[in-house]
């Protein structure tokens, strides 16, 4: 489901930012993709095609750049959108998942009524790196009774092998890979 022209256009538009957020990291910045309205629409159409192909009931977006893709796609398709956020950012009762980082841990939360049992879910984020955040989000959706049929990313950093951590999350889809 990857359009070679779209992959080429997105790859050419992503900006590399050296030493962000810390020295030694080459940050892949999607902001230029978002600034190009036609290209942004094409990327959202790609996510929408995936959601249709996987017969998704709900799109889950991971804070914060996952929201940029999941919310407009959910609106376009007329399906639900559920945010996954950092702790204490959601106003209602939440479920929490804690996951390991290179040095320490982090957590994410989701409203406990965001997913109904049996709903087919695709979880969206802008970037797949080590897979820890997405693995935790998959766990939250499954805890709520949802069936994660796919995870989808605009960018995958393949050399970090994050895909290996997502075996229990259905298909893993990435538009561009570095």
Q: In the annotation, is 120 catalytic? A: no
**Percent of the residues in the chain that have a pLDDT greater than 90, as a whole number:** 93
- Averaged pLDDT, 63-84: 97
Encode pLDDT of 130-157 as tens digits. Answer: 999 999 999 999 999 999 999 999 999 9
Q: In the annotation, is 65 catalytic? A: yes
Name the catalytic one among 42, 102, 163, 173. 102
Name the catalytic one among 2, 42, 65, 142. 65
pLDDT, residue 48, reads 98
| Domains of the chain, residue spans | 55-177
- What does the block give as tokens for 109? 């939360």
Encode pLDDT of 13-62 as tens digits. Answer: 999 999 999 999 999 999 999 999 999 999 999 999 999 999 999 999 99
Q: Which phi and psi (to 5°) does residue 149 adopt?
A: -95, -20
Mean of per-residue pLDDT scores for the chain: 96
- What does the block give as tokens for 33? 């993709």
Please answer whether residues 172 and 151 qualify as being in contact, where contact means their C-beta atoms are separated by less than 8 angstroms: yes
Q: Going by CATH, does the domain composed of 55-177 fall within 3.40.50.2020?
A: yes
């Amino acid at each position: 489901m990857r359009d070679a022209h779209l992959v080429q256009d997105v790859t050419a538009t992503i900006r590399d930012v050296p030493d962000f957020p810390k020295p030694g990291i080459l940050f892949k910045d999607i902001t230029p993709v978002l600034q190009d309205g036609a290209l942004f629409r094409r990327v959202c159409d790609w996510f929408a095609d995936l959601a249709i192909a996987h017969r998704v009931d709900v799109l889950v977006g991971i804070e914060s750049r996952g929201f940029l893709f999941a919310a407009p796609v959910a609106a376009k398709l007329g399906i639900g959108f559920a945010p996954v956020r950092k702790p204490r950012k959601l106003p209602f009762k939440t479920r929490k998942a804690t996951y390991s980082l290179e040095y320490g841990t982090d957590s994410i939360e989701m409203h406990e009524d965001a997913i109904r049992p049996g709903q087919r879910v695709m979880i969206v984020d802008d970037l797949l790196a080590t897979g820890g955040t997405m693995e935790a989000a998959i766990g939250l959706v499954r805890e709520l009774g949802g069936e994660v049929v796919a995870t989808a990313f605009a960018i995958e950093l393949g050399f970090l092998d994050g895909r290996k951590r997502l075996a229990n999350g259905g298909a893993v889809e990435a538009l561009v890979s570095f």
